[in-house]
Amino acid sequence: MAKKQKTFRPKPRLPKGMRDIRANEISAMNNMLAKLKEIYELYGFEALETPAFEYSDCLGKFLPDQDRPNAGVFSFEEDEDGDWVSLRYDLTAPLARFVAANYDGLPKPFRRYQTGSVWRNEKPGPGRFRQFTQFDADSVGADSVAADAELAMLGADSLEHLGLKRGDYQITMNNRKILDGVLESAGINPSAEENELQRLTVLRAIDKLERLGQEGVQLLLGEGRKDESGDFTKGAGLEPKQIDQILAYLAASSDQRTDVLGNLESLVASSEIGQEGLKELRDIDDLLSAGGFKADRVRFDPTIVRGLDYYTGPVMEAELTFEHKNEDGQLVRFGSLGGGGRYDGLVARFKGTKVPATGFSIGVSRAYAALEALGKLEHEKLMSPVVVLVMDQENKGDYQAMVQNLRGAGVKSELYLGTSGMRAQLKYADKRAASLVVIQGEDERSEGKVTIKDMDAGAEMSKEIEDNKEWREARVAQKTVGNDELVATVKEMLEAREKALGNNEAG
Amino acid sequence: MAKKQKTFRPKPRLPKGMRDIRANEISAMNNMLAKLKEIYELYGFEALETPAFEYSDCLGKFLPDQDRPNAGVFSFEEDEDGDWVSLRYDLTAPLARFVAANYDGLPKPFRRYQTGSVWRNEKPGPGRFRQFTQFDADSVGADSVAADAELAMLGADSLEHLGLKRGDYQITMNNRKILDGVLESAGINPSAEENELQRLTVLRAIDKLERLGQEGVQLLLGEGRKDESGDFTKGAGLEPKQIDQILAYLAASSDQRTDVLGNLESLVASSEIGQEGLKELRDIDDLLSAGGFKADRVRFDPTIVRGLDYYTGPVMEAELTFEHKNEDGQLVRFGSLGGGGRYDGLVARFKGTKVPATGFSIGVSRAYAALEALGKLEHEKLMSPVVVLVMDQENKGDYQAMVQNLRGAGVKSELYLGTSGMRAQLKYADKRAASLVVIQGEDERSEGKVTIKDMDAGAEMSKEIEDNKEWREARVAQKTVGNDELVATVKEMLEAREKALGNNEAG
């Protein structure tokens, strides 16, 4: 094998749609995740971690794109036994498996949160990766829509805790049962198996309202629609009168939750399931109002249906309403960064009996991009390192001792590990965004002294300086002290720096 | 598909060797990871995240088990293009890919740390999982053994920061070049291609010293060894005189680093590579001493060779020396929880030119098990929730408002989301390890009051209590206050609790 390595040289490339994440982004990401964790725990959700892959039959196939039934996930044979496993494509399906396997031992309702990578075998694009992070909260075992209302509140509180201000986001809610009621009123039994595909096609058509506009949706509700490329998408095949009923439903939006409820009333008056859905939304409205959540934070919107097949009741979406420039430089609404809804059937896949459940998921990279666009990313406090230069390889032990003394005092510090001269070492310190460098040349050593230099103050100058002699002559923002004063002086200079920089070190 | 779901019911099982991690363990694990991060950053290492899978040719096959060249990793076709990817089996191979791809932009030397899951397609066993977490530090671009010495110091400092006391752990170091020198002295050219397999067999034999004892190693250095099951492992085929030289080398251990260096001197006197290795260990000794690291923290041990093929210089292992009971109830040394070494050839796989690199990796689950065995696990401060009972479904809004007021004041709290009676709700609160429950029945409501009950104080009693009336009569460790005093009273009672429990809430 070693022989092969000598002749074959692989290209060091990332798999399609994958990326490396560097320290600066990791720090801001950690900060975000910590904030989300705070809110989720404040709401009483407990952490869970499930493995990266599951048996494929346990995950099921719940991704929206039904045209390619095997696409969407990464699957492989676990081992010689021939069992197939799939990398998780969301955190909901593994939760359903977990709950089904551990049902009796769990508190009911069971509130859990989970964050981690998920993988999608989809075509990557700009900002569209095949591995990304989700942050989910789910309540399992709660029939009451109080669980759904709570998730909407948690969503709104989470976004504000991340730094989004009121008005820049909205949680929008709806109830699948109301749409079913509209279908029923239009003469289509939504729970009949033979209408399943038609119902799903209607859902998907509505889900495209923002992208295609009313005209596009109208076509998709009817015979179908030809897109710009000439591809034809078959429609739901509804009659014109039925289409009008759906469009009337979609027009029921309003700024106030009670107005939406009023508008929907007559549309589902004759449908039991519709009435049930409306009653649930009313209960949610009461709970939201009791919790102090007005329509500027949580709205009702009949056009929110979510593309996933498995939702059975209330659905919700987290939307960012501010505008930002897209890749083509156009100002557009930032759009959705997560959502969820009630899925009373997922655990039943395993158990046979219905287990009510509802969840809400935030796309962490989307949230990151949003905060970046708003200039609201906050980094963990990252200390800049102190770099101890090696002026003399023979006495490396002395420099090592300085570094360990600094580290012992809690000062992030590094020994220069290369063998290059002073100029390269200063360049290295620059690249590391070092705060200070510590220098002890021959002269200093003979006097038992050490020089500490502020890197920002002398940054420009350092480019010109070739050796220690020039350096000492320049004497920019530096102090020379006795060896035993090194740690104390470094700490003083770091404090002074921090004051001068007004704590703007982050990032 | 929905039809299939109705008939087929998958068993909710975990893939072999996988596990779910619950909140309590996650909290202790987070605490550990945060501590490791502190030390790694103090040492100037910066964070990096690479994706879960890489192109298979980029990862290479560097797992020890050469008998099954395709085993050890989980691989699958990325998509229709036919490119194969593999889940990472360690964090070193992805780092080599990252460095090769981004070489020019990186500070040299480049110190990075990374933590994350790795996956091994190996037979699972007790405590042996197929997904586990590593925490790695690596320096790339540093030829000097100062980088290796630094990793040994970082290892020792990390283990102490986790809570291991001096004497319970040891970092042991050695240098592959010295073993090569011994081989050379025994008449085997260690760099000749035709001796590659023999050299590797010798390495692996030595690596088994602790498990098989000297006699076992002696057999593996010679013709081979039959184990208890009758399986025969072919040996390195050394002559008796050569075997004696290796055994003399293995006996060169001593408590003091300088003694080990002295013992090795004569064994590699005639070998250039051996002398080079010895010189490197001497330099490391100097740096360790200068940094204040004595042999009670970092030892030299000729028997440490590490099983991996790719090490080219200094190697090290983190060992826990205290004894604990194994699964069979026997007292055994806890053993290794990580290690590393210099791998100057890994980046060269991509670039053609040699890029010096050295690394150290901690097995996070092993470290967790060690701290658990020592009773030294520390959890993140987990607040116990306050549970607001729903005594009356009609007035759920009132209870919701209480919960939101508590959350708004930073008190972790939950609305009971089910529809069961008081007894079940108290059981739920017990299961959630609630600190307090908030109760407002009809009587309290009519008086504008609310009752707050301490769960620990009245835990036993609650089992007996069937309804709110009995409850009010029992009046165990509870306060009834005006509605507007709820938040303040809850905070007071939580503070009193915390004082009483002496901050022992964690976990």
Q: What's the pLDDT at B403?
A: 95
The answer to whether residue B473 scores a pLDDT higher than 60 is: no
CA B110 to chain centre: 23
Flag if B20 and A417 touch (Cβ within 8 Å). no
Q: What's the pLDDT at A464?
A: 57
| Reported confidence tier of residue B22, pLDDT bands at 50, 70, 90 | very high
The answer to whether residue B66 scores a pLDDT higher than 50 is: no
Q: Chain B closest CA to A71's CA: distance in Å?
A: 9
Average of per-residue pLDDT across A475-482: 80
CB-based contact B414:A111 (threshold 8 Å)? yes
B241 at A interface, C-beta within 8 A: no
Q: Which helix (H) or strand (E) holds B372?
A: helix B364-373
ipTM of the complex: 0.89
Burial-class residue A320 by CB neighbours within 10 Å (0-12, 13-18, 19+): buried
- Mean per-residue pLDDT of chain A: 89
The answer to whether residue A268 scores a pLDDT higher than 90 is: yes
Q: What's the pLDDT at B380?
A: 76
What's the token pair of residue A472? 């000492």
In 3D, which of B141, B45, B142, B261 has the Cα closest to residue A393?
B142
| Reported confidence tier of residue A485, pLDDT bands at 50, 70, 90 | very high
The answer to whether residue B491 scores a pLDDT higher than 60 is: yes
Average of per-residue pLDDT across A348-375: 93
pLDDT in tens, A189-241: 988 888 888 888 998 899 889 889 999 999 999 999 998 888 999 999 999 99
Q: What's the pLDDT at A357?
A: 97
The answer to whether residue B482 scores a pLDDT higher than 90 is: yes
pLDDT in tens, B67-118: 444 568 999 888 777 789 999 999 999 999 999 999 999 998 999 999 999 9
Confidence (pTM): 0.89
Flag if A287 and B400 touch (Cβ within 8 Å). yes
* Of the candidate ranges A31-35, A307-311, B247-251, B489-493, the one whose mean pLDDT is the lowest: A307-311
| Reported confidence tier of residue B1, pLDDT bands at 50, 70, 90 | very low
For chain B, positions 311-330, list CB contacts with chain A under 8 A: none
| Reported confidence tier of residue A476, pLDDT bands at 50, 70, 90 | low
Q: What's the pLDDT at B86?
A: 94
Q: What's the pLDDT at A125?
A: 84
Average of per-residue pLDDT across B453-457: 80
Q: What's the pLDDT at B122?
A: 87
Q: What's the pLDDT at A471?
A: 53
Flag if A131 and B193 touch (Cβ within 8 Å). no
Of residues A473 and B123, more confidence is placed in: B123
* Of the candidate ranges A7-21, A56-70, B329-343, B358-372, the one whose mean pLDDT is the lowest: A56-70
Amino acid letter at B159? L
| Reported confidence tier of residue A502, pLDDT bands at 50, 70, 90 | low
* Of the candidate ranges A403-407, A503-507, B11-15, the one whose mean pLDDT is the lowest: A503-507
pLDDT in tens, B394-422: 999 999 999 999 999 999 999 999 889 99
**Phi, psi torsion values for A461, nearest 5 degrees:** -60, -35
Average of per-residue pLDDT across B253-276: 94
Beta-sheet strand order (sheet of A436-439): A413-415, A386-388, A436-439, A449-454, A478-482
The answer to whether residue B507 scores a pLDDT higher than 80 is: no
Number of H helices, E strands in chain A: 19, 19
Give the span between the Cα atoms of A285 and A282, in whole angstroms. 5
Average of per-residue pLDDT across A337-358: 93
Q: Which domains does chain B have, with CATH numbers?
A: 23-188+239-373 (3.30.930.10), 201-237 (no CATH), 386-500 (3.40.50.800)
Burial-class residue B311 by CB neighbours within 10 Å (0-12, 13-18, 19+): buried
Q: What's the pLDDT at B469?
A: 60
In 3D, which of B188, B235, B217 has the Cα closest to residue B305?
B217
Helix H, strand E, coil C: the string for B25-42 is: HHHHHHHHHHHHHHHHHH
- Mean per-residue pLDDT of chain B: 89
Flag if A400 and B291 touch (Cβ within 8 Å). yes
- In chain A, residues with a C-beta closer than 8 Å to the C-beta of B389 are none
Average of per-residue pLDDT across B441-457: 90
Burial-class residue B317 by CB neighbours within 10 Å (0-12, 13-18, 19+): buried
pLDDT in tens, B330-378: 888 888 999 999 999 899 999 888 999 999 999 999 999 999 999 999 8
Rg for chain B, CA atoms, rounded: 30
Give the span between the Cα atoms of A380 and B145, in whole angstroms. 32
For chain B, positions 150-209, list CB contacts with chain A under 8 A: 150, 153, 157, 193, 196
The size of the A-B interface in CB pairs under 8 A is 286
Flag if B12 and A97 touch (Cβ within 8 Å). yes
For chain B, positions 414-443, list CB contacts with chain A under 8 A: 414-415, 417-419, 428, 431-432
Q: What's the pLDDT at A472?
A: 52
Q: What's the pLDDT at A68?
A: 46
Distant-in-sequence, close-in-space partners of A110: CB < 8 Å, separation ≥ 6: A99, A139, A140, A141
* Of the candidate ranges A441-455, B31-45, B70-84, the one whose mean pLDDT is the lowest: B70-84
Q: What's the pLDDT at B458?
A: 54
Q: Chain B closest CA to A331's CA: distance in Å?
A: 32
Burial-class residue A7 by CB neighbours within 10 Å (0-12, 13-18, 19+): exposed
